[in-house]
Amino acid sequence: MSQGDLLHVVTEDDISDSRRMFGHGIVWASALLLAGIAIAQYAQVSGYADFGFQTWRPTLYAYILWSVCLCWSKVLIYGEHGKRVLFVLPAALFVVSLTVFPLLFGLIIAFSNWNLASPLGRQFNGLDNVRQMWADPFYWNALLNMVWYTLAIFVEYAIAFGLALLLNADIKARKFFRVAFLLPLMLSPVAVSWMIGKSMLEIRFGPIARLARWLGWETPSFFGSPEIARLIIMMLDAWTFIPFMMIMILAGLQAIPKDLTEAARVDGAGPWKTFWEIVFPLMLPVSITAVMIRIIFKLKLADIVINLTAGGPGGATDTVTSFIFREYRDRSNVGYGTMLAMFYLVLIVIFMTILMKLADRFSRPRT
Amino acid sequence: MKVGLYDQLMRRGATRRDVLKGAASMAALSAASAAGLGALAGPAMADEALRAQILQIPGVGAGSPTDADWQKVGELCLGATKASVKEGEFAGIELTFMGLNNQNLHNFLFRGFLKPWETYTGAKISWIDLAQADYNARLQQSIATGTVDFDILEMGAPFEGDTASKGLLDEMPDWVKTQVDMDDLVEYLKPPVGTWDGKTYRVTVDGDCHTLSFRKDYLTDSAISGATGMTTMPKTWQQMDEFSKKIKGQKDPLTGLPAFGFLDPLKGWGGFGFYFLEDRASAYAKHPSDPAWLFDPDTMKPRVNNPAWVQAIQDVMDLIAAGAYPADQINADPGTTAFQQFLAGTGAGLCWWGDVGSMARTSNTSVVGDVVEFSINPGSDRVYNSKTGEWETPEGGNFAPNMAFLGWGVYVTKRAAGDENKRKAAWSAAAHLGGKDLSLWTSAYPSGFQPYRKSHFNFDEWEKAGYDRAYIEDYLGSNADSYNHPNAAIEPRIPGIFQYYSVAEDELAKGYAGQYKSAQETADAIAAAWEKITDQIGRDSQIKLYKASLGMS
Amino acid sequence: MTIQAVHDNEADSAGRAWRFGTKTTIYLLLILWAIICLFPIYWTITTSFKMAPAVMKGALIPWIDYDPAWLGWRSLGLSPETITASSTVRDEFMKRFMNSVIVSVVSSALAVMLGSLAAYGLSRFSYRFGFMKNSDILFFFLSQLILPPVVLALPFLLLYRELALLDTRIGLILLYTLSVLPIVIWIMRDQFSSIPSDLEEAALMDGLSIWGAFFRVILPIALPGMVAAFILSLVLTWNEYFFASLLTSTNANTLPVMVASQTGSQGIAWWSMAALSLAAILPLIVIGIGLERYLIKGMTAGAVK
C-alpha cells in the first residue's frame, strides 16, 4: 500500500509563530478546562466537595469544546495541510469517544458480581465470571450455534448470486422484480418475527403450515425439534438479508464490461463455461466483500431469536447475543453477561482479523 | 366474604353455588353493619343506576370494547374525582405513567379511562408501555440504575418487595383510602398485601388467582368420553394427566381439529411462565399445615427440588414424551396458549387468571363461550410434607389454589411526592382507576383485570348486563372459591421474586427440551440458581421478609 | 438449398425451443422468488383488515374468503370513522412514529456527513495518527461494525444516565450514528476511490481550496453513493430494536419497540399487530420503491475496484 497522497496539494502557507502559538494555546486551554471540570465532578461524586452539578453534562460540553478546539488548531498550526486532517478527525473523535468510554466501563462491569436487585450493588469478583463462563455449557452451545448460522451464509450467497444472475438476464419488468426482491431488506426484523414467524408459521391457520399440510406433511411443527427450529431461524434471517448480498453482486455484474462476455461467446464458450471462467472470477472480490459484511451482520443476529423463540427449544436457536440478552434481562446477571459479551468480542475480533487477512490474500492475486 | 363465614358455611355442607347465592344477602348484611361508617350502603344505592349503565357499554355479546367505550366509561365514573378535585386544579402538571402494554388492555384502557380525567383536571399524562415479558427487567433496571422516571406505576404485589422496601413508593393519603373504599376488597387482598412496614401503598385494580377452565363438551362428546372414560371434570392432576394422555387421536367437537387435553404453557414469559408449573406443584407441595411451599422459611433453602416439585416437573415431561400437547407447544407464548389455543377451540382445559372467563363471552376471538366451565385448580391425591419428608394421602385429596401474582395495583412513586399538587394529581389518577364502579366494568369486560371486590360478586348486576346467570355463578364462583380457600398458595412478596421465577422458567425450558437428563436434574439446576440469587440479595434479610410475607414472624 | 434451409430451420427451432425453455425457467424462478418476497407483505396487509374469525380460519383473499373490516386500523385510531375523532391510541402511535422518523433521518444524515468526509480524506491523503496509518484508521472505523451491541448495552445505559441522555432522541441519534458510520465509510470510500483525482487537481488549479473542490466537484459526482449509504443507514436505524428498547422509555420510544411490546397476557390481536407492523414498514417500502436505483448505483461503484 502506497503511503503517498493520491491528491497532491501544493500549498504555500505562511503560518506565523503567533498563529501557531494560538493554535497550541486553545488546545491546551480547552484540555485544561476539560480536566478541571472532570476532576471537579469526580470530586463531587466521591464526596470531597459539592459544586452543585446535577449530571455529567458539563464534562460532556467541555469535551465537545476541546474537540472543536483540537480541530480548529490543526488548521491554525498546519494551514492547508491541516485542513486535510479535518476530513477524518471529526469522525475519529466521534467514534473514539463513543466506544472507548463504554468499553472501559464494560471491562469494569465484566469483572464484577452484579445482580440488579442486590442491595449491595456492584462488587468486584475477580475471575469468577471467567470460571463460570468456562463451565457454562449453554454459552458454548450458543457459540456453536453461531458457527451453524455463519455456515448458512454460503447457501444464502449461492441464492443471492442466482437471483442477481436472473435479474441481470435479459428480462422484462426488470424494475418490478428488482424492487420486489429488494423489499425484504427494508422490513424490520421485529415485524418479520411477528408477521412471518408467529402468524404465517402458526400451526393451525398459518399459510405456510397449510402449505406444508397440502404438500403432505401431516403435522407440521416448526419450532418443536431443535434442527427444524434452527433451520427456520436461518431461513427467516436469510430472507431479510439475501437482498443485501444480491444488490452487491448485481451491482458487480452490471459493472462487467459487456464486450468481455461477448468475446467469450464469440470464442464459442457456453454459458456455463463463460460463467465459471469469466464472470465468477471477476465477481470474486465483490463476493468476498459481500460475504464478509454478511458474516459481520450474522454475528449480531438477535432480534428474530429474541422475539420468536427466546432461544428455545432448550437453547437450540440461541445466538450469543440472545443468550446474553436473557442472562442480563431474565437473570439480572449484569456482570456475568458483560463478561460473556467481552469474551465474544475478543473471539470475533480474532476471527474477523484472520478472515480478512485470508480474504486479502485470496482475492489479490486474481485481480 | 370473610374466611370465617366461608368456613362456617362450608362446614354446614353448603355447595359452592349456595354459598354464592348467600353471598349477596351477606354482602347486604355486612353493608348494613357498616352503615354506621356511611361508607357502603348510601353511595351503593345512588350508584346503582350508574353501574347498570356502564355495564351496557358496549354490552355483552357486542364484541370487544374500543377506545371510545373506555373514554365513555372513564367519563361516567368521574364522580368521585369531581368531588375531591376542582375543575382544572392540576393544570400544567405532567405525570408519567408506567404500565403494561397489552393490546387493547391495561395501558390502552388506562389511557381511555384517564382521558376524561385529564380533560377535567387539566393534568397531562405521558405513557411508558411495557410488554409483559419485559416488565420485570425494566422495573429492575430502573431500580438498579436509579432511573425511576415515572410518577405512577402499574405493578403487581410481588414487586412490593423490590420497590416499597427500597423507599421508592409514596404512602397513600387517607382521602384516597376513602375514595377507593378499601373495605370492599376481597379478604386476601387486604393488608399485608399492598402494604410494607405497616404503610399502605397500593390502589388495587385487579385480583389474581389461577382457576381451571374446562370444556364441558369434552365430557359429553361420546367419542371423547368413550376414549377417556370421564364424564365429570378431572379433579386432580392425576386424573387430568390421564385424561390428556387418553384423549389423543380424538377430534374436537367444535372445530373438528385434533383434540388435546390440558394445555401447559411451556415457554418462558419474563417470569410469569413459572406460575403454570406452580399450578401443578402447589397441589403436591402446599401442605395445609405449612404456609411455606417455595422455600424453607428458616434457611431460604429452595424447596423446588423436593419430591413434590420434581413430581410436577415429571408430570409435564411425561406429557411431552407422550405427545399430549399440540405441535410447537414448546415455543408457544403463554398468551398464545390461552387466547389463540384455548379460546379458539384447541385443548380441553387450562389454568389461567380469571380473565379467560370474561373473555370467553365478550371477546371477538373466543369460540368456547358456551361450552366452558370453571373450577378451582386441580388438586392431588397425595401431598408432600416437607417437615417429615413423607408423602401423605389426605382424604379427598389436597387442594391449593395458586394466588398467582396477587393482582395488579396502581402505585405512586416518590418522584411525584416532591410537589404536593403533583402528588395529589398522581393519587387522584390512581384512585380514579381503582374506583369502585370503574372496576366493575373492568371485571366484566376484556381488560386484563379480574374481580377483586366483594361488590363484584353481585350476580344481579352481571345478569342485567347480559351474562347468563349459571355461567357467571360458575365463573365468579371459581374465583371466589380460590380467593377464600383455606389452603391457598400465597405468593411471597420478597425482593427479587421475579428473578427467581425468570431463572426457573429459563431452566425449565431447557429441561422440557431435554437438555437436562431428568426432572430431578432440572429442579436441581433451578435450586442452585435460586441459592445464588438469595446469596446475592442477602440471605438473612430474605429469610426475614419471606417469613413476614407468609405471616410467620 | 432446400435441404440446407430445412436444416437451418430445424436448428433454429431447436434453438428457439431451448431459448424459450430457458426464458420460461427464468421467469418461473423470478415469479417464484417474487412471491416469496411479496407474500409476507401481502399477508400483513390483508391481516390488518381481518377480524378474529378470519384470522382463525387463515383466510387468504379479501372479499372472497372474508369480508374486510377496519378493526385493526380502528385500534390504531386510523380507520375512516376514527381518523377525525380524538384518539388516545393514535396519539401514542404518532408520537412513536415521529420519534422513529426524527431519530433515523437525523442519525443517517449525520453518519453520511461524517462518514463521507472521513472516507474522502482516507481515499485521498495519507495520515499518521500515532502508529496508525491509513489502512489502520480504515480498519479502526470498519471494526466498529463488528462490535456486538450487547457489549455496549449496559455501559451505554450507565453512561447515558450520568449524562442525562437516557430516553432522549439525542442519545439514540448519537448511538445510531455510531452504528451505521462504518457502513457509510465503507460505501463512500469505494465511491471516492472510483473518482479520478485529476478532477480535484483541475479544480485546485482553478484556485479552489481542498474543501471547495470537495463540495463543488466531488460531492455532486458521489451523490448516488451518498444516497445509497443514506438509504442503508435509514433501513438499519429505522429497524433498530435492541438499543431502542434498552435506552428509551417514554419520550424517545421508536416504532419497533412499540411493535415488540404488543404481546401481552391476552394473546395477540393479529389485526392490530398487522396494522402496526404495516405502518412500521410502509415508509421504508415507499423509499425502497422510490430510491431503489440509487442503491444499485451506489453499490456499483463499491463493487468495482
- Domains of chain C by range and CATH? 2-74 (no CATH), 88-303 (1.10.3720.10)
- Indicate the DSSP class of residue B372: E
CB-nearest partner of A203 from B134, B328, B510: B328
Helix A174-186, helix A226-255: angle, nearest 10: 130
- Indicate the DSSP class of residue C259: H
Kindly report whether the peptide bond that precedes residue B191 is cis, defined as omega within 30 degrees of 0. Answer: no
User: CB-hemisphere CA count at 13 Å for B280?
Assistant: 28
Say how far apart CA A80 and CA A87 lie, in whole Å. 12
Domain boundaries, chain B: 3-208+406-483, 210-402+492-549
Chain B residues closer than 8 Å to A203 by CB? 326-328
CB-nearest partner of C210 from A80, A337, A348: A80
Say how far apart CA A191 and CA B155 lie, in whole Å. 28
pTM summary value: 0.83
- Is a pLDDT exceeding 50 seen at residue C180? yes
Say how far apart CA B146 and CA B163 lie, in whole Å. 12
Chain A residues closer than 8 Å to C199 by CB? none
Task: Tell me the pLDDT tens digit for each residue of C130-176.
Answer: 777 888 888 888 888 878 887 888 788 878 878 888 888 999 999 99
C191 contacts C298 by C-beta, under 8 angstroms? yes
Confidence of residue B294 (pLDDT cuts 50, 70, 90): very high
Topology (CATH) of B3-208+406-483: D-Maltodextrin-Binding Protein; domain 2 (3.40.190)
Say how far apart CA A81 and CA A75 lie, in whole Å. 8
DSSP E strands, B93-237: 94-100, 124-130, 152-156, 195-196, 199-200, 203-204, 210-215
Instruction: Report the Cα B232 to chain-centroid distance in Å.
Output: 26
Domain B210-402+492-549 in CATH 3.40.1440.10? The answer is no
B26 contacts B412 by C-beta, under 8 angstroms? no
Confidence of residue B239 (pLDDT cuts 50, 70, 90): very high
Say how far apart CA C245 and CA B510 lie, in whole Å. 26
Q: 186-205 in A: which are within 8 Å (CB) of C?
A: 186-192, 194-196, 198-200, 202, 204-205
The partner residues of C129 in beta bridges, in order of sequence, read C132
φ/ψ of C71, rounded to 5, equals: -50, -50
Q: 53-92 in A: which are within 8 Å (CB) of B?
A: none
Chain-chain contact of A98 with C284 (C-beta, under 8 angstroms): no
Task: Tell me the pLDDT tens digit for each residue of B415-426.
Answer: 988 889 999 999
Interface test with C, best of B102, B267, B351, B445 (most C CBs within 10 A): B102
Q: List subunits contacting chain C, requiring 3 or more Cβ pairs under 8 Å.
A: A, B
Longest dimension (CA), chain C: 92
Cell of residue A185, nine digits: 431488506
Chain-chain contact of A55 with C164 (C-beta, under 8 angstroms): yes
Q: Interface pTM (ipTM) of the complex?
A: 0.86
Model pLDDT, residue B192:
81
Chain A residues closer than 8 Å to C210 by CB? 7, 9, 80, 83-84
**Nearest CA distance, B515 vs chain A (angstrom):** 6
Task: Give the residue on C whose Cα is nearest the Cα of B69.
Answer: C87
Strand B94-100 relative to strand B152-156, pairing: parallel
Say how far apart CA B129 and CA B135 lie, in whole Å. 9
- Indicate the DSSP class of residue B415: G
Cell of residue B84, nine digits: 375531591
CB-CB neighbours of C4 under 10 Å: 8
CB-nearest partner of A330 from B346, B495, B502: B502
B93 contacts B122 by C-beta, under 8 angstroms? yes
φ/ψ of B196, rounded to 5, equals: -150, 130
Q: Does B510 contact chain A (CB < 8 Å)?
A: yes
Q: Does A296 contact chain C (CB < 8 Å)?
A: yes
Task: Give the residue on B whose Cα is nearest the Cα of C167.
Answer: B149
Cell of residue A64, nine digits: 465537545
Interface test with B, best of C88, C92, C98, C245 (most B CBs within 10 A): C88
Chain-chain contact of C118 with A91 (C-beta, under 8 angstroms): yes
Question: In terms of Cα–Cα distance, which of C247, C122, C124 is closest to C196?
Answer: C124
- Indicate the DSSP class of residue B153: E
Q: Is the dihedral of CA C123, C125, C129, C130 positive or negative?
A: positive
User: CB-hemisphere CA count at 13 Å for A166?
Assistant: 26
Chain-chain contact of A315 with B141 (C-beta, under 8 angstroms): no
Question: In terms of Cα–Cα distance, which of B342, B325, B337, B326 is closest to B254?
Answer: B342
Count each helix (H run) and each strand (E run) in chain B, helices first. Answer: 23, 12
Cell of residue B345, nine digits: 377451540
Helix A280-299, helix A137-168: angle, nearest 10: 140
**Nearest CA distance, B329 vs chain C (angstrom):** 14
Say how far apart CA C154 and CA A107 lie, in whole Å. 11
Cell of residue C74, nine digits: 380502528
CB-nearest partner of A312 from B326, B509, B538: B509
Question: In terms of Cα–Cα distance, which of B161, B242, B253, B194 is closest to B493?
Answer: B161
Q: Does A52 contact chain B (CB < 8 Å)?
A: no
Task: Tell me the pLDDT tens digit for each residue of B348-397.
Answer: 999 998 878 777 877 777 888 888 999 999 999 999 999 999 999 999 89
- Is a pLDDT exceeding 80 seen at residue C181? yes
User: CB-hemisphere CA count at 13 Å for A117?
Assistant: 34
CB-CB neighbours of A216 under 10 Å: 6
A135 contacts A306 by C-beta, under 8 angstroms? no
Confidence of residue B46 (pLDDT cuts 50, 70, 90): low
Domain A132-363 in CATH 1.10.3720.10? The answer is yes
A58 contacts A41 by C-beta, under 8 angstroms? yes
Question: In terms of Cα–Cα distance, which of B395, B469, B497, B484 is closest to B155?
Answer: B497
Say how far apart CA B62 and CA B129 lie, in whole Å. 28
CB-nearest partner of A251 from C117, C214, C303: C303
Domain boundaries, chain A: 17-110, 132-363
Which strands form B124-130's sheet, in the order they lie side by side?
B124-130, B94-100, B152-156, B408-412, B203-204
Question: In terms of Cα–Cα distance, which of C175, C178, C172, C177 is closest to C254?
Answer: C172
Model pLDDT, residue A112:
86
CB-nearest partner of B104 from C87, C92, C269: C269
Chain-chain contact of A221 with B143 (C-beta, under 8 angstroms): no
Q: Does A354 contact chain C (CB < 8 Å)?
A: no
Interface test with A, best of C60, C150, C294 (most A CBs within 10 A): C150
Task: Give the residue on C whose Cα is nearest the Cα of B358.
Answer: C266
Span B54-76, average pLDDT: 83
φ/ψ of A190, rounded to 5, equals: -65, -45
Q: Does C215 contact chain A (CB < 8 Å)?
A: no
Average pLDDT, chain C: 83
Say how far apart CA A211 and CA A219 lie, in whole Å. 11
Percent of chain A with pLDDT over 90: 17
Count CB pairs under 8 A between chains A and C. Answer: 304
Q: Does A136 contact chain B (CB < 8 Å)?
A: no
Task: Tell me the pLDDT tens digit for each residue of A118-150.
Answer: 767 778 888 888 898 898 888 999 999 999 999
Q: List subunits contacting chain B, requiring 3 or more Cβ pairs under 8 Å.
A: A, C
Q: Hunting for cell 389474581 — which residue is that? A: B208
Chain-chain contact of A313 with B330 (C-beta, under 8 angstroms): yes
Count CB pairs under 8 A between chains B and C. Answer: 119
Span B60-78, average pLDDT: 83
Q: Does B271 contact chain A (CB < 8 Å)?
A: yes
- Is a pLDDT exceeding 90 seen at residue C128? no
User: CB-hemisphere CA count at 13 Å for B429?
Assistant: 37
